[in-house]
């Protein structure tokens, strides 16, 4: 059995599809990112875990792996409903705030009163002038994954300590930390 599995690169946060062969199950494997070309290690669960997920999926009639024409499988469960919880961590500029994002396209920025053309979909109440009024955008993809893109902000958007340059989209994972200006936001991805 061969299974295609999506693995996010820890450096650039882009998805990489790898073909898991029998000798790769239950151990750490080194992968070269097809986007940033950096090498990283990832652990592949034991083969029994994949087989048990397939059997469970048949019982529950939930699509977990999709069989291709070449008898390989594309991994990843299809989640029924997923939303992103964005928590503002309190600091000298901002108080604790929580936002739930489940729409396909949401701009994020600081709250302002300069008119509707400068109004973000998610307005963070803050005195952080390093955060733009429309600083970044979070988008929900067809596969229920969330990505973030910087909107050419003056002070950049940071994901887990790495600045997001250009107009590239970066995948978000549960537990990620964003920094907009000097404000820190915690990401939680929740299944409904």
pLDDT interval class at 191 (50, 70, 90): confident
Cβ pair 151, 164 in contact under 8 A: no
Statement to judge: residues 97 and 6 lie in one domain? no
Cβ pair 54, 66 in contact under 8 A: no
Statement to judge: residues 70 and 118 lie in one domain? no
The verdict on pTM exceeding 0.75 is: no
Which structural domain, as residue segments, surrounds residue 110? 82-191
The mean of the pLDDT values for the chain is: 80
Q: How far is CA 85 from CA 3, 74, 98, 169, 180, in A?
A: 31, 27, 7, 19, 16
Statement to judge: residues 123 and 182 lie in one domain? yes
CATH of the domain at 184: 2.60.200.20
Query: In total, how many domains does the chain have?
Result: 2
Find residue 136's DSSP bridge partners.
Answer: 108, 150
Q: Give the per-residue pLDDT at 78.
A: 43
Statement to judge: residues 89 and 150 lie in one domain? yes
């Amino acid at each position: 059995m061969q299974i295609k599995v999506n693995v996010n690169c820890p450096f650039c946060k882009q998805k990489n599809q790898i073909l898991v062969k029998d000798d790769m199950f239950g151990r750490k494997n080194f992968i070269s990112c097809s986007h940033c070309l950096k090498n990283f290690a990832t652990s592949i669960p034991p083969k029994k875990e994949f087989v048990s997920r397939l059997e469970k999926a048949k019982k529950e009639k939930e699509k977990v792996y999709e069989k291709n024409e070449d008898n390989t499988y594309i991994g990843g469960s299809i989640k029924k409903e997923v939303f992103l919880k964005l928590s503002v961590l309190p600091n000298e500029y901002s108080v604790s705030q929580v936002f739930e994002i489940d729409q396909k396209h949401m701009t994020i920025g600081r709250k302002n009163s300069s008119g509707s053309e400068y109004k973000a979909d998610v307005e963070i109440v803050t005195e952080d002038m390093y955060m733009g009024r429309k600083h970044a955008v979070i988008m929900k993809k067809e596969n229920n994954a969330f990505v973030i893109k910087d909107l050419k902000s003056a002070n950049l958007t940071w994901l887990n300590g790495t600045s997001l340059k250009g107009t590239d989209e970066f995948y978000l994972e549960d537990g990620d930390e964003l920094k907009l200006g000097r404000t820190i936001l915690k990401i939680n991805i929740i299944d409904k």
